[in-house]
């Protein structure tokens, strides 16, 4: 297969983990005889520094002309610490999602047996947890009408029936392919937007009688995710709730550095780790590249190349079993490996 991949490394540790993601993608392409063309583009703080725009038109054009986008992370303290800044790196990420029509964010949460002890939760709680969070990505407070003045501000949690219906159907598609259990997370006892979500979900669920559908308020869901993560199979929720819940879910796996994601919709899909740019780790060769590498697995699988994705997952599992890990997940007394060393080990495993 021939693939054109837009590569958006972004800020902070982004370039370091992206280097390993591209290396793994190239190794798999070589192994299976695929032709992958990479097209680099700027975004985030890097793009602001260069052209004053966190998602320049040229970057958008590159994304639209590609089969998929491999993205790393954006964010920089010089913008985070300046409340008066009118242009921020994260605006580039939101613009990419909006302009590419990426309304469905798919975040799998899966534990690794050799790492359950790294979770702050008890082993018996997290062991065997395996579910997917599907987050609506282009609506809600992040995109609704806003006002920000010196003494007053608001964000509008705006959703339409069409937006809710299309993301619910994505959720049901995944539930049908898994354990046929869908949990709709909302706050319908307080929020009008959530009552729309629930009304639409109660209509659509009748079309999927083979799927068990339940409803859960977001506060209860956040507690249940920690108390009993194995209860969940597929979660579908709105933008803000999804952002918070999926970060919380990283406690189950033991590290945000293990969580990949895919964003799909109307145009070019984007594959990225769920973590941020971690500027404090920039240039130190300590960032965990596994979420970026597992995002490459999701990219291959999106195009039906399941054997390729399976090999990447096997390589990641093998690296963990061999204690080839970055510092935050390394076993006590284990050898020291950095971003580059972990990536190189996985590439070598793939090419053997």
Exposure string over 63-95, b if 16+ CB within 10 A, otherwise e = beebbbbbbbbbbbeebeeeeeeeebbbbbbbb
Question: 258-284, pLDDT tens digit by residue?
Answer: 899 999 999 999 999 998 899 999 999
Q: Is 6 helix (H, G, I), strand (E, B) or coil?
A: strand
| Residue 233 near residue 182 (C-beta atoms within 8 A) | yes
Question: 18-55, pLDDT tens digit by residue?
Answer: 999 999 999 999 999 999 999 999 999 999 999 999 99
Q: How confident is the model at residue 255 (pLDDT cuts 50, 70, 90)?
A: confident
Q: Clarify whether 142 is annotated catalytic.
A: yes
When pLDDT is averaged across residues 130-145 and rounded to a whole number, the result is: 93
Query: Is 3.40.630.10 the CATH number for 105-265?
Result: no
Residue of 219, 310, 321, 348 marked catalytic: 219
Residue of 155, 247, 282, 302 marked catalytic: 247
CA dihedral 336, 341, 342, 348 (to 10 degrees): -130
pTM across the whole model: 0.90
In angstroms, rounded to a whole number, what is the distance separating the alpha carbons of residues 348 and 337?
Answer: 15
| Residue 232 near residue 179 (C-beta atoms within 8 A) | no
Q: In what order do the strands lie in the sheet with 260-264?
A: 35-40, 2-10, 68-73, 270-273, 260-264, 104-110, 130-136, 234-237, 181-186, 212-217
Residue in the block written with tokens 């793009």: 47
Q: Clarify whether 208 is annotated catalytic.
A: no
pLDDT greater than 90 at residue 80: no
Q: Is 84 helix (H, G, I), strand (E, B) or coil?
A: coil
Best mean pLDDT range from 80-89, 146-155, 307-316: 307-316
Would you state the pLDDT for residue 81? Answer: 66
Residue of 243, 300, 337, 349 marked catalytic: 243
Q: Clarify whether 172 is annotated catalytic.
A: no
Residue of 79, 142, 174, 349 marked catalytic: 142
CA dihedral 187, 190, 191, 195 (to 10 degrees): 70
Q: Clarify whether 219 is annotated catalytic.
A: yes
* Two domains, one topology: 1-102+266-352 and 105-265: yes
In angstroms, rounded to a whole number, what is the distance separating the alpha carbons of residues 193 and 185?
Answer: 12
pLDDT greater than 70 at residue 193: yes
| β-pair partners for 105 | 135, 263
| All structural domains of the chain with their residue ranges | 1-102+266-352, 105-265
Query: Is 3.40.718.10 the CATH number for 1-102+266-352?
Result: yes
Question: 98-133, pLDDT tens digit by residue?
Answer: 999 999 999 999 988 888 888 888 889 999 999 999
- Higher per-residue confidence, 328 vs 182: 182
pLDDT greater than 70 at residue 82: no
Question: 197-230, pLDDT tens digit by residue?
Answer: 999 999 999 999 999 999 999 999 999 999 999 9
Q: Is 246 helix (H, G, I), strand (E, B) or coil?
A: helix
Q: What does the DSSP assignment read for 272-313?
A: EESS---GGGTTSS----HHHHHHHHHHHHHTT-HHHHHHHH
Q: Clarify whether 151 is annotated catalytic.
A: no
């Amino acid at each position: 297969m021939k693939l054109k991949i837009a590569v958006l490394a972004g800020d902070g540790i982004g370039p370091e983990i992206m280097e390993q993601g591209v290396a793994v993608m190239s190794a798999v392409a070589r192994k299976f005889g695929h032709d992958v063309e990479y097209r680099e583009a700027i975004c985030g703080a890097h793009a602001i520094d260069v052209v004053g725009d966190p998602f320049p038109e040229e970057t958008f054009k590159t994304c639209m002309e590609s089969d998929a986008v491999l993205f790393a992370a954006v964010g920089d303290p010089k913008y985070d610490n300046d409340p008066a800044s009118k242009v921020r790196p994260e605006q580039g990420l939101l613009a990419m999602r909006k302009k590419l029509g990426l309304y469905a964010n798919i975040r799998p949460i899966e534990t690794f047996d050799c790492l359950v002890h790294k979770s702050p939760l008890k082993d018996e709680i997290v062991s065997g947890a395996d579910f997917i969070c599907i987050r609506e990505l282009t609506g809600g407070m992040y995109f609704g009408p806003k006002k920000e003045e010196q003494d007053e501000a608001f964000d509008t949690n705006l959703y339409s029936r069409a937006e809710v219906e299309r993301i619910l159907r994505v959720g049901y598609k995944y539930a049908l392919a898994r354990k046929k259990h869908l949990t709709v997370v909302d706050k319908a006892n307080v929020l009008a937007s959530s009552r729309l979500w629930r009304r639409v979900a109660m209509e659509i669920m009748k079309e999927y009688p083979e799927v068990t559908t339940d409803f859960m308020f977001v506060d209860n869901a956040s507690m249940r995710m920690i108390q009993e993560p194995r209860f969940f199979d597929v979660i579908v929720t709105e933008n803000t709730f999804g952002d918070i819940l999926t970060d919380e879910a990283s406690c189950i796996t033991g590290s945000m550095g293990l969580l990949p994601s895919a964003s799909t919709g109307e145009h070019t899909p984007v594959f990225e780790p769920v973590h941020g740019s971690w500027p404090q780790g920039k240039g130190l060769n300590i960032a965990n590249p596994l979420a970026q590498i597992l995002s490459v697995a999701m990219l291959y699988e999106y195009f039906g190349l399941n054997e390729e994705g399976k090999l990447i997952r096997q390589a990641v599992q093998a690296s963990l079993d061999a204690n080839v890990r970055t510092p935050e997940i390394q076993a006590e007394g284990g050898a020291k490996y950095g971003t580059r060393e972990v990536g190189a080990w996985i590439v070598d495993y793939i090419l053997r």
